[in-house]
Structure 1
Amino acid sequence: MQLFNSRLLRERMQRFSFPAGGEFKKKINVIAKWQKSLRDSDLSKTKEISIQGLFLSKFFGEVLGYTTQADGKKEWNLTQHPGNDIDARIPDGSLGFYSSDKSATKAVIELKDAMTSLDRRQSARRENFTPIEQSYLYATKYDGCNWIIVSNIREIRLYNKSKTQSYYESFNVLQLEEDEQFKRFYFLMSKDNLLGDGALSPLDELLQTSEAQEKSISGDFYSAYRELRLKLFKHLRENNVGYDSSILLEKAQKLLDRVVFILFCEDKGLLPREILKRAFERGVSSFLDSDQRVWLEMKGLFKAIDRGNDKVSPPINGYDGGLFAYDGLLDSLRIGDAIWKEIVELAGYDFESDLNVNILGHIFEQSISDLEQLRSEFDGLELHTSRANRKKQGIFYTPENITHYIVENTLGRYLEEHPDRLPVIRILDPACGSGAFLNQAHTYLQKAWKSAYEQGEIKSKDARYGTLFDYNPAENDRTILLNNLYGVDLNEESVEITKLSLWLKTARSDEPLENLDRNVRCGDSLVQSREIAGEKAFEYRKEFGKVFEEGGFDIVIGNPPYVRQELLSPELKEYCSLNFETYSGVADLYVYFIEKGLALLREGGYLSFIVSNKFLRANYGKKLTGYIQKNYTLVELMDFGDLQVFEDATTYPCIITIKKTIPEGPMTFKYLRLETLEVADLRAELEEKGYEVTITPDSGGWS
């Protein structure tokens, strides 16, 4: 995802004075010579150390305007740091304000050769960091250093220390002679913008403004979205007497899911522009004697999106997948023309620049809580704050730096140990909510495929799985969605929103949506008994039979519900007492999710959850810690103490990472007690400030 709001970036670039005339030609010539060397010479095969100085002087000196000490000035902006290729502890270069008596670093630079993937773990480096992770660690060593630049001389990336590694600006060196590409590169990377002349550079200000606008726009959108859902629900109740309120709420949400998907695809160029608005206008201007003229047009549009329509201009791709599949009950409902005017007003939001997939994910997470509250308020139909209901349901939005850390720390470790399992890795979130962890896992797997391609490792056929290792983003999406990602949730709306979030992320103009019904399921992850859970009783070995034929899930990740034991029913407690070794009458629900998740792993697999840290100190936790020590290997424990990770909730969380291997002798794991939430890269923080703890059965504690 991009660091900056694309609309805001375009506006700033329009007001910027770019190099012109001879100065512009000189910079383009430098880039063109480098491109020629990449295409026609052995530069692409040259080791990183031998080209670092040349790359820095050409791109950062001659093109971007940074000065070095060798230029003979009292102050300079670019410094190269000579180091060794195996275990360097400093970056290859840095940008800032330097003189004989001053050193203020604002950006670190890490350089690799053209054969190195920026997203691949480096086996020769400590902790097997990727070049990106390595660079984040470097940035923490300099006070006031917020910017991170990483390159393999083919691609240059710009990161900010306050954001996770999912956010960056990328520049393809082989495309920099193109006018728009050069302008974006120069605007974001030049000395005048990245460094400026004070504490807050133009680039710092641009990021702050982007973040403020994102927060404001996403808040405005969700307020409009929430109010619209309530109005639509009321409209359906008033015009469809005799239907169960729960069914009408489900259909109202489904209708809005379809609308959001259409608007998102319009702005991404995946559907014809303003197709929803045009359907509305056709309905309004229809001569039919009906107050449902717009609804008739919309049903036709939904059918066209589901099946495709090449008779219109431009043609509509058939998305299939289930979201737009025929729904007889929905189609039979009366939906008057008046409500559609308000629905179509959502088109006023910019889904290309202002409402990206990640922002929509946050909105969907909040949506789940509000839906549950609505179900409990069918009589009053008055929407209050959902804080109390979130507490009852144990649902809390997981911050992105935590989902990023959990995914990178489990998938990264596992694929490093088992690289051949990339096409068939099985990843489960047993309480998937809005799909935040599954979306993060999808991002990681796409990077893993791209990295394998860049390293030249995906040209042969795998004898065991019969899978052609070939880098094709569309085909990789299909593999990831159908073979790699699995989710279960007790909440039906959560299941549908998880599928929607994955569809939004992977939709393409020439491909159908993948049907996710087999992989993302509604059910009770803890209970197999119909007597306790009714229709939501869930038997993993039955529902995901193929996974367990191969030994189980490779990875189990997530944020299990935060439900205190006082809120558990007597029936559920009795069931847990008979089915969980870690049962205690006063244990909270997450304890059983940990035991269940571990049971679902294949040998050598990893589990990582963010859960309450109460088990580390409470008496009921002794059963859980003893169970883990006896049967598994604790890898890492990151304790947030009393930091308030979740908005409106004090949950005292920790992140626990466990490997399914029986320990031999004393068990050593990495431990960190976090002192602040202002950490974008938790893995770098663990490496920098964490320490090893060795435990035995007699240790008496883990922290």
Structure 2
Amino acid sequence: MREALKVLGSGFLSANHDLASQLKSGHIPLADWFNELLRLVYRLIFLMVAEDRNLLHPVSSTAAARQLYGEGYSLTTLRRKCQRRATWDKHHDRYEGMKVVFRGLADGEARLALPALGGLFAPHQLPNLEAARLPNNAFMAVLWHLGWLPERAGRVPVNWRAMETEELGSVYESLLELQPQPAADGRRLVFAAEASERRGNQRKTTGSYYTPDSLVQTLLDSALDPVLDSTEAEAADPAAALLKLSILDPACGSGHFLLAAARRLATRLARIRADGAPGLADFRPALRDVARCCLHGVDKNPMAVELTRVALWIETVTPGLPLGFLDGQIRCGDALLGLVDLGVLTDGVPDAAYKTLIGDDEAAANHYKRANRAAKRGQIELDLGSGAAIVPALKPLALAFSRLRNLGEDTVGQIQTKAARFRDLRQTPDFQRARAAADLYVAAFLLPKTGAAPAVHSRTVPTKTF
């Protein structure tokens, strides 16, 4: 994966001088561009898995369309061709052909037996790489690194069909250690040497580590299975009751825990739907429904959030159906910061928010504490409306968000409608007011209590009413 990213990035930099210049000037942030490289690699991995598992083409597609795709565009064919160095030339047609596949998977292309998947293949995912050129020698080298493994007897093909999606966790760990940067000549992508060119890496500074499968399974045995048992036993409609459960991983990483939990829940759901004898044809739709209705994840690292979504898409891909809408369920954020109970907003910021900690100035902390108490006596108000009114207003908003799970996901159009509805709900006045109030509440705890105390006015945080 590391070598594939390095070759891919270097190929784009060497063939697109304008792109290299914009990266050097900062017009295109390096982190954003590197994330595009990751998405491109995720697309290739997704395609290799889907092809090897025979899950890419809709059942209704014609034999001629499948043949055209297989002979002229498939990664299976290109992986075989990349064994011949003669295919590693300086032309640009291989990546251009792959763009045709990507566009087909975004909106559907019957002539190539490609379904409309959206999601990972949506056009906005690669704003800079979609228009860029990539030499064949770089593209084929990427497929060489992703498609073949070194062995003593020579290279052997990667068996993407048998890949456990949890193996993406080890990919996630290795990616956290990478610190990408353009080389001095601006035409190559390199990774900073650990500790010498950059202090630390994301894995160490964020405490991010891959959770062993044995620990995940033990946790599910004790935490999830009893809930599933009682839900099945007590519900009049066990299948519907299972889909009303919510499974949350507040530090989801690459999605290992969520994937394992989803499989357990989907196994039971498929068994109920099939009257005790489920097959693969029963399990996959059940898993897709579980991902749509039950899974929720949070992580501070945007790379982890994206990889979790990719892992779920790989696991739930169904011939003829688009990739599910996961933006509302797998979110980037800090699960340790925030409000568990929005009802606390009605009482305003507590004095405990201004408790003196190591490094704080006691005089400044006491100033904020006094200002907070004055606010609670009604002397100061921040004009965001009444905190008491926010919580009741959120009830219909919460119901509207929960109804998103009932919206269909059988076509790209339905996915787009669901995405638009999700965005619209987040722009409503009630949501914006509640978000501002919650942000201010948390900000009071994080406020630097050092230096001279500021004058108390309407822009300071201490206040009772939101």
**TM norm structure 1:** 0.38
Written as runs of structure 1 = structure 2, the 5 A alignment for 1:362-373 is 362-371=169-178, 373=179
The 1:353–1:323 alpha-carbon spacing in structure 2 relative to 1, beyond 3 Å, is closer
The 1:300–1:457 alpha-carbon spacing in structure 2 relative to 1, beyond 3 Å, is closer
What letter matches 2:324 in structure 1?
E
Q: Distance between the aligned counterparts of 1:457 and 1:343, measured in 2?
A: 42
Matching residue of 1:374: 180
Displacement of 1:412 in angstroms is 1.1
Displacement of 1:411 in angstroms is 1.6
Q: Are positions 1:416 and 2:215 aligned together?
A: no
Matching residue of 1:245: 30
**Residue 265 of structure 2, aligned match among 445, 461, 467:** 445
Q: Are positions 1:262 and 2:32 aligned together?
A: no
**Would the aligned equivalents of 1:263 and 1:351 in 2 still touch at CA under 8 Å?**
no
**Residue 253 of structure 2, aligned match among 417, 433, 455:** 433
Displacement of 1:277 in angstroms is 5.4
Displacement of 1:497 in angstroms is 0.5
**Would the aligned equivalents of 2:49 and 2:160 in 1 still touch at CA under 8 Å?**
yes
The 1:476–1:297 alpha-carbon spacing in structure 2 relative to 1, beyond 3 Å, is same
3-state secondary structure, aligned to 1:414: helix
**Would the aligned equivalents of 2:115 and 2:320 in 1 still touch at CA under 8 Å?**
yes
For 1:567-608, what per-residue CA distance to the aligned partner results, in whole angstroms no more than 9, with x for missing partners?
A: xxxxx9x958838xxxxxxxxxxxxxxxxxxxxxxxxxxxxx
Q: Distance between the aligned counterparts of 2:276 and 2:10, measured in 1?
A: 57
What letter matches 1:319 in structure 2?
L
**Residue 285 of structure 2, aligned match among 475, 494, 501:** 475
Displacement of 1:406 in angstroms is 1.3
What letter matches 1:430 in structure 2?
P
Matching residue of 1:391: 204
Q: Are positions 1:302 and 2:108 aligned together?
A: no
Matching residue of 2:296: 486
Unpaired stretches in structure 2, ≥5 consecutive residues: 24-28, 57-65, 85-89, 149-156, 236-240, 340-393, 404-438, 447-466
Displacement of 1:489 in angstroms is 1.3
Q: Distance between the aligned counterparts of 2:30 and 2:143, measured in 1?
A: 24
**Would the aligned equivalents of 1:431 and 1:487 in 2 still touch at CA under 8 Å?**
yes
The 1:508–1:455 alpha-carbon spacing in structure 2 relative to 1, beyond 3 Å, is closer
**Would the aligned equivalents of 1:438 and 1:485 in 2 still touch at CA under 8 Å?**
yes
Displacement of 1:266 in angstroms is 1.5
**Would the aligned equivalents of 2:270 and 2:286 in 1 still touch at CA under 8 Å?**
no
The 1:528–1:519 alpha-carbon spacing in structure 2 relative to 1, beyond 3 Å, is same
**Would the aligned equivalents of 2:302 and 2:332 in 1 still touch at CA under 8 Å?**
yes
**Would the aligned equivalents of 1:306 and 1:318 in 2 still touch at CA under 8 Å?**
yes
What letter matches 2:330 in structure 1?
V
What letter matches 1:270 in structure 2?
L
For 1:411-432, what per-residue CA distance to the aligned partner results, in whole angstroms no more than 9, with x for missing partners?
A: 2122223333301111111111
Q: Distance between the aligned counterparts of 2:401 and 2:102, measured in 1?
A: 37
Task: Count residues in correspondence.
Answer: 300
**Residue 163 of structure 2, aligned match among 345, 355, 365:** 355
**Would the aligned equivalents of 1:277 and 1:344 in 2 still touch at CA under 8 Å?**
no
3-state secondary structure, aligned to 2:323: coil
Displacement of 1:307 in angstroms is 2.6
**Would the aligned equivalents of 2:33 and 2:128 in 1 still touch at CA under 8 Å?**
no
**Would the aligned equivalents of 1:486 and 1:519 in 2 still touch at CA under 8 Å?**
yes
For 1:245-277, what per-residue CA distance to the aligned partner results, in whole angstroms no more than 9, with x for missing partners?
A: 212211111110001111111111123657025
**Residue 338 of structure 1, aligned match among 131, 137, 145:** 137
The 1:383–1:407 alpha-carbon spacing in structure 2 relative to 1, beyond 3 Å, is farther
Unpaired stretches in structure 1, ≥5 consecutive residues: 1-224, 285-289, 459-470, 530-540, 551-571, 580-703
Displacement of 1:495 in angstroms is 0.9
The 1:549–1:515 alpha-carbon spacing in structure 2 relative to 1, beyond 3 Å, is closer
3-state secondary structure, aligned to 2:50: helix
Say which structure is richer in helix.
2
Say which structure is richer in strand.
1
**Would the aligned equivalents of 1:426 and 1:547 in 2 still touch at CA under 8 Å?**
no
Percentage of pairs with the same residue: 25
**Would the aligned equivalents of 2:49 and 2:161 in 1 still touch at CA under 8 Å?**
no
Q: Distance between the aligned counterparts of 2:163 and 2:300, measured in 1?
A: 28
Displacement of 1:353 in angstroms is 5.6
Q: Distance between the aligned counterparts of 1:306 and 1:493, measured in 2?
A: 22
Q: Distance between the aligned counterparts of 2:192 and 2:116, measured in 1?
A: 37
Matching residue of 1:317: 115
| Deviates further, 228-237 or 426-435 | 228-237
**Would the aligned equivalents of 1:488 and 1:522 in 2 still touch at CA under 8 Å?**
yes
Q: Distance between the aligned counterparts of 1:408 and 1:513, measured in 2?
A: 29
What letter matches 1:253 in structure 2?
L
Written as runs of structure 1 = structure 2, the 5 A alignment for 1:669-680 is none
3-state secondary structure, aligned to 1:330: coil
Written as runs of structure 1 = structure 2, the 5 A alignment for 1:597-612 is none
**Residue 578 of structure 1, aligned match among 442, 445, 457:** 445
Q: Distance between the aligned counterparts of 1:435 and 1:546, measured in 2?
A: 26
What letter matches 2:12 in structure 1?
L
Q: Distance between the aligned counterparts of 2:55 and 2:209, measured in 1?
A: 32
3-state secondary structure, aligned to 1:331: coil
3-state secondary structure, aligned to 1:418: helix
For 1:148-183, what per-residue CA distance to the aligned partner results, in whole angstroms no more than 9, with x for missing partners?
A: xxxxxxxxxxxxxxxxxxxxxxxxxxxxxxxxxxxx
For 1:102-142, what per-residue CA distance to the aligned partner results, in whole angstroms no more than 9, with x for missing partners?
A: xxxxxxxxxxxxxxxxxxxxxxxxxxxxxxxxxxxxxxxxx
Q: Distance between the aligned counterparts of 2:283 and 2:253, measured in 1?
A: 26
**TM norm structure 2:** 0.56
